[in-house]
Structure 1
Amino acid sequence: MRSRPPHPRLPRRQHRDRGQVAVEYLGFLPVLLIVGLAGIQLGAVAYAAEQAGTAARAGARAASLQQDVGAACASAVSSGIHVSCATSGGGDSVTVTATVHIPEIMWKDLGNATKSATMPVDH
């Protein structure tokens, strides 16, 4: 079995710089985490808006067919998401406004995502 030749001694300056990259990485890690969480929060805002739009369209369709608007709105969104729908209009068209609370990931209380949909009443 051959043994490895001994390492030459590092010059004093290079010896002090060892581990510098690890320390710089640890300093930058919180910035990376904040940027990542902000991206996830932005995705949650977009998802809430998409769910509100889906619920509004489903509710408007149900209202145009004289069906239960609340049940249609609730069944149109993913489980675990609370949606509230309000109906307005009359005559030949009906408008349903759906409101979904935006999930809190990084910032507290971003409010609600609200979308509306209008459909003609089926006679």
Structure 2
Amino acid sequence: MVNRMLRGEHSARGDRRDRGQASIEFAGVLFILLIAGLAAIQLGLVAYSIQQAGTASRTAARAASQHDLQWEQVGQSSVSDWLADGTDFRRFPGTEEVRVEARVEVPSVIPIFDFDDAKRSTTMPMD
């Protein structure tokens, strides 16, 4: 038996064990790659939601500063359609300026994590 191993020959029993080990290692690596990919997608969704909240707050504040009574609909229309349902606005009126805060719900691809809404506010002078 020792002579066979020195010559590079393997027993059938050893080859079967190696194949099973390789399958288990592959499954473990695949799981880690899947989690890393989902985390990268989630990070992109968070960044995109923050960007959309900034765009919505600027657009709504611009409309509100021009005394547009539909400022909330204007801000809503500036958000991507698939994020628009989770968007909310608050207006803080003033005499010389108006401030609008937009909140966009961050979608989650990893079900065990729950993220806060992305918030951005913009202040514009009244016209």
TM tier, shorter chain?
Answer: 0.7 to 0.9
Code of the aligned partner of 1:113:
A
Match of 2:72 among 70, 73, 92: 70
Q: 1:92 touches 1:121 (CA, 8 Å); kept in 2? A: yes
Structure 1 position 40 matched with structure 2 position 45: no
Deviation at 1:95, TM superposition (A): 0.4
Q: 1:85 touches 1:96 (CA, 8 Å); kept in 2? A: yes
3-state SS of paired residue (1:80) = helix
3-state SS of paired residue (1:102) = coil
Structure 1 position 100 matched with structure 2 position 104: yes
Show the counterpart of 1:86: 90
Unaligned runs of at least 5 residues, structure 1: 1-9
Q: 1:69 touches 1:85 (CA, 8 Å); kept in 2? A: no
CA RMSD in angstroms, aligned pairs only = 2.0
Report sequence identity in percent. Answer: 42
Structure 1 position 109 matched with structure 2 position 114: yes
Show the counterpart of 1:5: none
Code of the aligned partner of 2:123:
T
Code of the aligned partner of 1:101:
E
Partners in 2 of 1:18 and 1:56 — Cα distance? 57
Q: Superposed, which structure 2 residues align to 1:19-38 within 5 Å?
A: 21-38=22-39
**Number of residue equivalences:** 113
Code of the aligned partner of 1:95:
R
Unaligned runs of at least 5 residues, structure 2: 1-7
Q: 1:48 touches 1:100 (CA, 8 Å); kept in 2? A: yes
Show the counterpart of 2:10: 12
